[in-house]
Amino acid sequence: MTKKVAVVTGGSSGIGKEIAKHLYRNGMEVYTLSRRVEKMNELDDLGIKTGFVDVADYDSIDKAVQTIYDDAGHIDVLVNNAGFGSFGSLEDVDLKDGEYQFKVNVFGAMKMIQAVLPIMREQGSGRIINMSSMAGKTGMPLASWYVGSKYAIEGMSDSLRQELKEFGIDVVVVEPGAIESNWSKIAMKSLNEVSGDGAYAAASRKVADFFELAYRYASKPMVVARMVDQAAFSAKPKARYAGGTGAKASIALQKILPDKAFDALMDQVRTMAQKMVNKEKAQRNQIDPETETK
């Protein structure tokens, strides 16, 4: 029996690597794509096929998908995992940087879908798995561009799910919470660079302190990989899978509470987190009188 073929973008680190490994171990032929091909040698050693794609370069997407199709003869699963988080106030973020956030997180994902759809329609089957976030359901201060890109993924996936049903193609959204990866470090670095000074400095520190505390309890990447496994292998997949630290609770509260009540609750949580982090910093900086040198 011919193995199903899966294509995973953003496979050079963290979540993407774990997704590729799980799909491969569970019997799929996996092609993993990234800009940083040199970071995927570990996957090559396992037997996973790797290749180059820059999802902000549409020609590279067409080339990568055609190469995979020529090699495998079919594509059954697309996992749109590539993406990044750019933080900073809407006012401070340069519009070109905001556009690039959408180009990678939204337009790149949609171009990947455009590239595989003719193949999947011809087959009469396929599964598209789009990586969203709990931020795709819950707003977050100083993250408008990132949150907006994930809201877009949610809405477009809902439309695509209905649009592609007649062709036997399923569309699934995965909504992770806090997951161990370089994502939070990159997001907080951009937050500090863009809004660490000026009118939003205090808010920036609060958000950064919240992330510092929250990501101490981040889930392992395998949590996301297992959700992708469910989405990829289930005979009748759910429209959404949520998991990882904070995801289910945040999404549930957002559904239950009025918008302003939810905003107030999350601000209280961030304030409490900042107090805890600041207290820890003060304790670390305090000199023990008994060991203080003269």
**Residue 41 resides in a domain:** yes
**Residue 169 resides in a domain:** yes
Instruction: Give the full edge-to-edge strand order of the sheet including 77-80.
Output: 49-52, 29-34, 5-9, 77-80, 126-131, 169-176, 240-243
**Residue 286 resides in a domain:** no
**Residue 285 resides in a domain:** no
**Residue 71 resides in a domain:** yes
HSE-CB of 266 using CA atoms within 13 angstroms: 21
Distance of CA 32 to the CA centre of its chain: 16
- Three-class secondary structure assignment of 259-275: HHHHHHHHHHHHHHHHH
Active site (catalytic) residues: 146
pLDDT of residue 291: 45
**Residue 32 resides in a domain:** yes
Give one DSSP letter per residue of 172-190, joined into a string.
EEEEE-BBSSSHHHHHHHH
Measured in residues, the chain has a length of 294
HSE-CB of 135 using CA atoms within 13 angstroms: 19
> Which ranges constitute the DSSP H helices of the chain?
14-25, 41-46, 58-72, 95-102, 108-123, 144-163, 183-195, 201-214, 221-233, 247-256, 259-285
227 bridge partner residues: none
Q: Which domain holds residue 269?
A: 5-274
pLDDT of residue 289: 44
- The CATH code of the domain that includes 200 is 3.40.50.720
Domains held by the chain: number: 1
**Residue 290 resides in a domain:** no
Per residue in 6-23, pLDDT (tens digit) is 999 999 988 999 999 999
**Residue 19 resides in a domain:** yes
Give the global pTM. 0.92
Instruction: Report helix, strand or coil for 233.
Output: helix
Q: 25: which residues sit within 8 A by CB, 6+ positions away? A: none
pLDDT of residue 287: 53
Mean pLDDT by 10 residues, the chain (294 residues): 92 93 97 95 96 97 98 98 93 96 97 98 98 94 96 98 98 96 84 93 94 92 97 97 96 96 96 93 70 40
Task: Quickly count: other Cβ atoms within 10 Å of residue 90's Cβ.
Answer: 15
In whole angstroms, give the CA distance from residue 156 to residue 166: 17
Distance of CA 88 to the CA centre of its chain: 18
